[in-house]
Amino acid sequence: MTIVDPAAGKAVYEADRAHVFHSWSAQGLIAPLPVAGAEGSYFWDYEGNRYLDFASQLVNTNIGHQHPKVVAAIKEQADKLCMIQPAFANDARSEAARLIAELAPGDLNRIFFTNGGAEANENAIRMARLHTGRQKVLSTYRSYHGATANAIALTGDPRRWPNETGVSGIVHFFGPYAYRSPFYSADEAQETERALAHLENTIVFEGASTVAAIVLETVVGTAGILVPPPGYLAGVRALCDKYGIVFIADEVMAGFGRTGAWFAVDNWGVTPDLITFAKGVNSGYVPLGGVVISDAIYETFRERPFPGGLTYSGHPLACAAAVATITAMREEKIVENAKWLGESVIGPELRAMAERHPSVGEVRGLGVFWAVELVKNKETREPLVPYNAAGADAKAMNDFAAACKARGLWPFVNMNRTHVVPPCTTTEADAKEGLAILDEALTVADAFCE
């Protein structure tokens, strides 16, 4: 039920501004929207304004807001046992681990739980380094892996710049991106071939015997929703096998239905050595992440202690939410819904918009995981705003986002892109409503085209 209580909203806002320190923000330049409630694909403020959540918050509410089965499971677990430390066995933790391992490909049969995606990547790197006895880790420039020490060094996007120490042992390389190919490729096949050659050269020149892991977002998320071209992930797997390198698939954003598959790697039939996850595993109802571990890496730590842990690893409330989420997604065919929406509604509608709007350079994606890349000129492909634009330089994208919000759509905007990433539970009607609003708002972007 939408709550209309402007006075309460004002109090929430004032308390926030007085005491809350926000991430990734200049504190004096932000005006956070006070949110009164949410349900399904919508959330609303205290003024009675409802927003269709085309961002899934931070691309994590895969099962939608306030799913009754997940809420009930959290309440039931709270009545039974709120907290038990990780050294004990717990039924919710064990069942969550069993279900996740059952969904994972190949022989990835054990789960190390964390509180979120950054910690998952931290621990996956630690496992790879100890398993191989090597130090270096490779990741792409167009990537985001979290904000903790190694995770932010692993990240390729500009959030790394002010955080980097320069002594992380992380090496960046260029992944495939056919629309803006760093390899001047003519087509996807050539992009795959040249991207893999570049990666192998990087391995060789860094010293293959020093490289512990390659970490890839299976489908690059925040940095562009870049779907790997055919053969690329299989090629990475082959290079890892050739040089004894651990292949870590970061599925923090892409996992648990987002691409229309349980894990994004399932779309290409590739089995990594480690998978990191968070977000969609329980839609963030209670913070949870983790690492899915292959049998070979598990054996490294059978009699050798793993030097890492977290007080809240496998928190019972979070794990109960994960069990309820996975169960509901199976029973309600939510992953299948995400796949169908991508193939039958979102993809076709976005491609039609690309024909109508001069500002749309490319659309790409699968499931409920899409990017609309906005440009000043379709021929030159010049981005609508410069890379990492801020202030006046970002006006075109800021105006576009404002147009979406004014019409009741909450977008996910990053650099010169808007990402279409609604919950996996989104109905056809809601998806079409959001896409119609997006279509209208693109006229604002069109005005900045040359």
pLDDT digits (tens, 9 = 90+) for 366-380: 999 999 999 999 999
* Last residue within a domain, chosen from 331, 366, 392: 331
Strands 211-217 and 246-250, sheet pairing: parallel
Give the pairing of strands 274-277 and 246-250. parallel
| CA 171 to chain centroid | 21
- The answer on pLDDT for 441 being more than 80 is yes
Domain co-membership, 209 together with 340 = no
Q: Are residues 241 and 343 in the same domain?
A: no
Verify that 172 and 148 share a domain, yes or no. Answer: yes
Per-residue pLDDT, averaged over 245-263, amounts to: 98
Could you tell me if residue 440 is inside a domain?
yes
Domain count, the chain: 2
CA distance 78 to 316: 8
- Is residue 161 very low, low, confident or very high in pLDDT (cuts 50, 70, 90)? confident
Is 1 inside any structural domain? no
Q: Are residues 252 and 362 in the same domain?
A: no
- On whether residue 416 sits in a domain, the answer given is yes
Q: Does one domain contain both 423 and 382?
A: yes
Which tokens belong to 381? 């492909």
Quick one: 32 and 141 in the same domain? no
d(CA 236, CA 133): 20
Residue at which a domain ends, from 309, 331, 353: 331
Model confidence pLDDT, tens digit, residues 269-296? 999 999 999 999 999 999 999 999 999 9
Which residues are 40's β-sheet partners?
65
Residues 308, 400, single domain; the answer is no
Residue 167 has pLDDT above 80, yes or no: no
Report pLDDT digits (tens) over 84-128.
999 999 999 999 999 999 999 999 999 999 999 999 999 999 999
Q: Long-range contacts of range 293-297, CB-CB < 8 Å, 24 or more positions apart?
A: 293/108, 293/109, 293/110, 293/111, 293/112, 293/127, 294/106, 294/107, 294/108, 294/109, 295/107, 295/108, 295/109, 295/110, 296/107, 296/131, 297/127, 297/128, 297/131, 297/246, 297/273
Query: Which residue segment(s) compose the domain that 413 sits in?
Result: 6-66+333-446
Mean pLDDT computed over 78-87:
98
pLDDT of residue 1: 66
pLDDT score for 391: 85
Identify whether residues 86 and 201 lie together within a single domain. Answer: yes
- Has residue 93 been placed in a domain? yes
Tokens of 115: 């509180």
Q: Which residues are bridge partners to 396 per DSSP? A: none
* Tens digit of each residue's pLDDT (9 = 90 or more) over 411-429: 999 999 999 999 999 999 9
- Global pTM reads 0.96
Are 139 and 234 part of one and the same domain?
Answer: yes
Does 300 share its domain with 358? no
Query: Do residues 48 and 75 share a domain?
Result: no
Give 213-245 pLDDT, tens digit per residue: 999 999 999 999 999 999 999 999 999 999 999
* Mean pLDDT, range 161-183, rounded to an integer: 90
Q: Is the pLDDT of residue 166 over 90?
A: no
CATH number at residue 100: 3.40.640.10
Residue 131 buriedness (CB in 10 A; 0-12 / 13-18 / 19+): buried
Does residue 354 belong to any structural domain of this protein? yes
Which distant-in-sequence residues (6+ apart) come within 8 Å of 274 by Cβ? Answer: 108, 124, 127, 128, 213, 246, 247, 248, 249, 291, 292, 293, 294, 297
Do 114 and 36 fall into the same domain? Answer: no
What is the CATH classification number for the domain harbouring 345? 3.90.1150.10
- Residues 6 or more apart whose Cβ sits within 8 Å of residue 150: 121, 122, 125, 137, 168, 170
pLDDT per residue as tens digits for the range 3-55: 799 999 999 999 999 999 999 999 999 999 999 999 999 999 999 999 999 99
Q: Is the pLDDT of residue 168 over 90?
A: no
From start to end of 218-285, where are the E strands?
Answer: 246-250, 274-277
